[in-house]
Structures are given as structure tokens and as C-alpha cells.
Homo-oligomer: A and B are copies of this chain.
Amino acid sequence: MQKYVLFLIFILIMSQIHTNAQDILDSKASDPNKLAWMQGFPPTKDKIISAIDGSFFQFPALRYSVCHMRQFMPTTVVKSHSGKGYKFKVRLDEDIDNVRFTPTNSSETMTWRESLDKNYTDGMLILHKGKIVYEYYFGALKPDGVHAAMSVSKTFTGTLGGLLVAEGVLDENKTAEYYIPELKGSAFANATIRQILDMTTGLKYSEDYSNPKAEIWAFTAAGNPFSKIENGPSNYYEYLATVQKEGVHGEVFGYKTINTDAMGWIVSRVTGKSIPQLLSERIWKPLGTHVDGYFQIDGAGIAFAGGGFSANMRDMAMFGEMVRNKGKFNKKQILPIALIEDIMKGGDKEKFSKSVYGSLKGWSYRNMWWHTHNEHGAFAARGVHGQTIYIDPTAEMVIVRFASHPEAKNAYIDPTSLPAYHAVAKYLLSK
């Protein structure tokens, strides 16, 4: 089993495990500085977080690890802008802390500030009309640091895929096999680019960790750069070529990480560039970002397109603000308007409602973005443990949130975050 352990992250990224609530330290008690993870020269034995025993991604240690992923695994850089970079205007609004909202399925209200603690928030940034009105750092996150984006990574890969569609480099009606002949014989072979981008593929792929035969284990093993695989796929791409079909493509939304890794492969094949490199060249550098981001990689140097990105919070906010402005940022059109309009329109609500995510009523998924279809037309990038980029076009608001919630499932985090975001949006609208 040892070879599986390092990349527990892959598992946990999509984990459905619900930890026993009464045993869990709260936000303040689990502050990684207070717990002194990896502090001291050397840290005491019980404060060493290790890659080899999987402890680096267990709560509360993960509150440290999410800001230091490179200390536990091989990574490759996403270069930021090389010059002075973009500087946000800052107009902090302290009243936001007191904005009240009612958590989903709750009878009692809560303040914005309380929600940050409740949700184990490491970083929170709110832009209103492009200015920073709220900025908060906690735990191991530093203003010039990075944080694991988890499945928010998918949104970057999906946006790059959508960009290539908008530019005509990819035909969204062509199949994956057309671009990647090696996918012949796999479930992806006859899935279209559009189906992959919107995750409506029918894939035999289980992320049930209680089942030792679940496909997630082979994916995890394939992506582990430190295990030598004798029989079976030894990197992400080799794994993707083995995925079998289940159901029909194009009918139901099925949130499966491997769609994003397949899209990453396609994007890299047609551009000749890795996802980290393309993200840097097409988005990160043009934005004027300040801090180099990075992706974790497998043993063949392939970036984990479905979940491996770590980035700086203000840099993330630049991306969100650019998308809110239909691809324009700091006087430059960075992404095509047509792509952003396609994202803002959202996906197929019916296909979404039939999925296991149907509890997010009225939502849809498009180009690896989640669309709330709420009264403000808000849409978002979302990652486990509470990562998000939440864009509210009506309120001219962008929220970036990094967190290290003990639960890997957003269903535990959404009740005290989605209504909070909407309440702040309404507050900003009313100003």
C-alpha cells in the first residue's frame, strides 16, 4: 500500500468521507501556527508533516499543507508576470464583517465574519467593481504565498480548453480520439470535446474509497511519481487510455476529475504546451500576476490538470475579475468575449439536475465552471475543502476563497458560504 499513500491527495480531493464532527478542532484551535506544524529546527517529531505516511493531507495537518504543497511532492512552475505586475486599488469596507445571512436549512442568522471561522477560511478576498473591499489571511496563508486550489484547477484547464474552441484550434464537435489517437478503445474515444468540457461523458469511474477495486485507486497509483508501476498505467495519460464506458455520453452531468485530465491532454497535444506553461503564457503573465504558481506532477512530468494547481490569492482575483469583465483586464482583452459569454450562459440544467449534484437546485456546469443560475447570474470555480472563485456579475463582485475545512465535501461548506456570498453581493449592490 505504501506506494498509494503519497498521493492520498488525489483521493481526498474528491473524498466523500465525513469525519466525526464532535472530534474536530474548530478554526481557531486548528490554526496551523498555533499547532506549530513544521516549526522549529528541527520540528518536534509530532509536528513533522510527512509525505510518506499520508499525514500531510489529514486534518488538521492539511491546514499547513495546503499552503506548502511543493514541500511534499514534485511540482512544475506557472510563471507569473515578470515585470511590475498589476496592482489592485484597495478600499476596505469593514461593514462587510457584519453582513448577516441565513445559512441553508438553518433558522438562525450568522454574520459574514462568523462564516469565515465556521468554514476554516485561510484566505478571503472580495473585489467590488475591481477594487479590493475585503482581504483576510489566516493560518498558514501569507499575502505573498500560495494555496492549493484543488478542483478550482479544473476551471483553469476547462477555460483553456474553451479558449482553444473559441479560437478554432479545437472543434467542440470532434471526438477526443480525433485529437488523441491513443484514446481509441477507451470511453473517451467517441466523447466530444464539448462533452468532456461539460463533463457529460459516461465513464466507468468510481471514487468510492471504501471499494478497493474502485477506479480511483488505479488513477492514484498511475499519478504517483514515486511508485514504479509494473502492471498497469504508470502516468495520468496511460490511465486515461484505459477508462471504460458506462452509460451514454452527452446525457447526464457526471463530475469526474478524469474529464479534466483528458482535456488537459488534448490541450497539450494540440498546442504542444503543458497546462502550466499554457496557463502562464495565455493567462497568468498577461494578467500581471505577482507570484509564481505551480502544479503537482506525475512521474512523466504531466501536470495534474484536474486538481494540482497552487496559486496566490490576489493573482486568483485578477483572473476572476478578468472573467467578470468578459475577458478584459487592465485594458487588455486576455480571453475572447465569446468564450466568457459561453461560460456566463451556463450549461444544461436538466443534465445537471439528473446528477448526484442535483441538490444544487437549478445549477449547471459549463467549460468546467459551475453556474448557480441564481437571480444575479453568479457562477463559480469550486474545489474541495472550500476553495472558490465566485463571480457575481450583477453585483460586480468577485470572491476568492481559500480554505482548509476538515471536510472534503463542499456539501458541508456550502450552507454557510453560498448564502453568505449572496448576502454580501446584495449588500454591495445596495451601496
Contact = CB atoms under 8 A, between A and B. Distances in A.
Interface stretch (A17-25, A41-49, A156-164, A395-403): A41-49
Interface in A256-280: 265, 268-269, 272, 274
B74 A301 contact: no
A265 B38 CA distance: 15
Contacts of A71: 74-76, 297, 301
B84 A83 contact: yes
A360 interface: no
Nearest to A48: B300
Contacts of A50: 225, 299
Interface in A227-262: 227-228, 235, 237-238
Contacts of A238: 42
B77 A41 contact: no
Interface secondary structure of A, over-half rule: loop
B228 A226 contact: no
A187 to B, nearest CB: 19
A169 interface: no
B290 A292 contact: no
A228 B52 contact: yes
Contacts of A70: 70, 74-77, 294
Interface string A52-85: 1100000000000000101111111101001110
Contacts of A227: 52
A156 B144 CA distance: 23
B82 A290 contact: yes
Q: Interface size for chain A: under 10, 10 to 19, 20 to 34, or 35 or more residues?
A: 35 or more
B38 A51 contact: no
A317 interface: no
A226 B6 contact: yes
Given A82-B290, A226-B226, A301 B48 contact: yes
Contacts of A73: 74
Best-buried of A38, A77, A301 by chain B (most CB within 10 Å): A301
A183 interface: no
Contact of A42 (B49, B51, B272, B302): B302
A72 B272 CA distance: 22
B237 A42 contact: yes
Contacts of A292: 292
A41 B268 contact: yes
Interface in A303-327: none
A68 B301 CA distance: 10
A411 B42 CA distance: 36
A300 B292 CA distance: 24
Contacts of A269: 41
A301 B140 CA distance: 15
Contacts of A226: 6, 51-52, 226
A51 to B, nearest CB: 6
Nearest to A268: B41
Contacts of A297: 71
A38 B297 CA distance: 12
Interface string A408-423: 0000000000000000
Nearest to A47: B300
A315 to B, nearest CB: 13
Listed from nearest, the 4 A-B pairs whose CB atoms lie closest are: A41-B268, A38-B301, A42-B237, A42-B300
Interface of A: 6, 38, 41-43, 48-53, 68, 70-77, 79, 82-84, 144, 225-228, 235, 237-238, 265, 268-269, 272, 274, 290, 292, 294, 297, 299-302
Given A41-B265, A41-B272, 11 more contacts: A38-B301, A41-B237, A43-B301, A51-B74, A51-B226, A52-B225, A70-B75, A70-B77, A75-B75, A79-B144, A292-B292
